Amino acid sequence: TKRDYVIDEMISAKAIAARVESLAREISEFYAGTNKLVVVGLLRGSFIFIADLVRELDLPVEVDFLEASSYGNAMVSSREVRILKDLRAGIEGRDVLLVEDIVDTGRTLSHVLAILNTRRPARLEVCALLDKPSRREVDVKARWTGFEIPDEFVVGYGIDYAQRNRNLPYIGKVRFPE
C-alpha cells in the first residue's frame, strides 16, 4: 500500500500560462514560413502542455502523438524505453517539433529522438516544459525549455505520480510527511 503524500505548489497555473505564451512566440518565429510543421506529443505526460502550446502557435500545424513509456508506476526509471504507440503519419522531409513534459535522465527523449531521426525529418527539435539537468544520464537537451527545476518529484499539468494528479492545473512537488 502506498504512503500518504501531500503536494506543494511549485509553479502556478498562471506562471505556466505566461511561459507557454513566450515559448510559443519563440517557436512561431523559429518556424516562420514553414507549412511542414508537425507537432508531436509524447504521451501521456505532454498532453496538457501540447494542447496549450499549439493553441498559442501562430503557424499552420499538424498534431500527432507517440507513446514511449519507461517509468510505469515507479518513481525511478527502469531504464527500459518501449514504443507503445507510434505516429499516425510519416515525417520524412517534415519539420518535427517533439513536445515533452519533463526531461529527467534524458533516456526517453534520446531514445525517441534516435527513432525519429531514422525517418529523416527535415528538422527535429524539442520543446520541454520542465528540465531537471541535475538528473541527466545521457547528453540530450531541448532547444526550448519552459523551466529548469531542482531534483524534486513533480506532478500536475500532465505529469503523474502512479497515474494520478495529471489533471492538476499547476506543477506541484510530492512530499511524504513523517
Q: Are strands 62-69 and 37-43 parallel, antiparallel or unpaired?
A: parallel
* Contact call for residues 37 and 58 (beta carbons, < 8 A): no
- The alpha carbon of 52 is separated from its chain's Cα centroid by a whole number of angstroms, namely 12
Q: Which is nearer to ligand PRP, 44 or 94 (CB)?
A: 44
- Active-site residues, by number, are 104
| Contact flags string 132-161 toward Mg ion, x per CB under 5 A | ----------------------------x-
Q: How many residues does the structure list for the chain?
A: 178
The yes or no reply on residue 71 touching Mg ion (CB under 5 A) is yes
- List interacting residues with ligand PRP (CB under 6 A): 42-45, 69-71, 77, 100-109, 160
The burial of 29, by beta-carbon neighbours within 10 Å (0-12 exposed, 13-18 middle, 19 or more buried), is given as: exposed
Residue 137 CB, shortest distance to ligand PRP, in Å, is 7
Contact stretch for Mg ion (CB under 5 A) within 47-55, 59-67, 68-76, 133-141? 68-76
* 173 interface partner picked from ligand PRP, Mg ion, Mn ion, none, CB below 5 to 8 A per type: none
Indicate the residue whose CB is closest to ligand PRP.
Answer: 45
Q: Which is nearer to ligand PRP, 59 or 173 (CB)?
A: 173
Question: Crossing angle, helix 47-56 and helix 13-30, to 10 degrees?
Answer: 60
CB 137 within 8 A of CB 81: no
In the complex, the residues that contact Mn ion under the rule CB under 5 A are: 45
- Between 24 and 68, name the residue whose CB sits nearer to ligand PRP: 68
Q: How far is CA 107 from CA 147, 160, 176, in A?
A: 19, 18, 26
